[in-house]
Amino acid sequence: MKLRWPKLYVYSTFIVFSIMFTGCGRTSYSKRTYILDAARQPEPGQAESHATIDVRRFTIDSAFADKGFVYRRGEHEYESDFYNQFLISPAVMISETTRHWLCRSGICERVLVPGSRLESTHTLEANITALYADVRDKSSPSAVMELRAFLIANNNNDESVILGERYQASCPLQSNTPEAFVEALDKCLAEILTSLEKDLKKELSPT
């Protein structure tokens, strides 16, 4: 028996946005790029712990690793958009956003930048397992993001995982446009980082 595996299909903007999003006959073939900008307001006062966190660059499942937006059209059918993309790798972008978020959270003393020579007390790692627009129901498309995060305590060369959690968010699109997709993804990321921050705070709080 021959097995058929789901494939990631590449469609042009003509198919993806003229049919799925814009719903009209006008098409544009110029490439557009976007970034996620989920930001947290700075927390006033001193840090709640003396922890120093090294936020490693996140990994991401291969289906969502490229810059092109991904749309889920069926149970096993996905599309990648060449003309509407993230400006940089989504793994790098989400890693940097997480780093900036934690810097402003006040839950630790330091958040290290890549290449820092300072020693960390903890390491944060994560794998992004979903990052797409769910358009199976064209009347109510949504942005979906999911990741698994791990907090590792570094104790004199003895590393131990003290937190391992899955975070998932789904936010509706306010309109059928790529800009609305990015805005919904921003909300997903902010929701995930808010939950992650709360969990990290519990683990880092002095006992």
Q: Which domain holds residue 59?
A: 49-65+88-204
SS3 52: strand
- For residue 61, the tally of other CB atoms under 10 A from its CB is 14
Whether residue 99 lies inside any domain: the answer is: yes
Whether residue 23 lies inside any domain: the answer is: no
The count of structural domains within the chain is 1
pLDDT of the residue at 44: 81
Please determine, for residue 8, whether its predicted confidence score (pLDDT) is greater than 60: no
Instruction: Read off the CATH number of the domain in which 57 is found.
Output: 3.40.50.10610
Whether residue 27 lies inside any domain: the answer is: no
Tell which wins on pLDDT, 17 or 178.
178
User: Would you give the DSSP letter of residue 142?
Assistant: E
Whether residue 178 lies inside any domain: the answer is: yes
Whether residue 19 lies inside any domain: the answer is: no
pLDDT in tens, 89-125: 999 999 999 999 999 999 999 999 888 999 999 999 9
pLDDT in tens, 127-185: 999 999 999 999 999 999 999 999 999 987 788 999 999 999 999 999 999 999 999 99
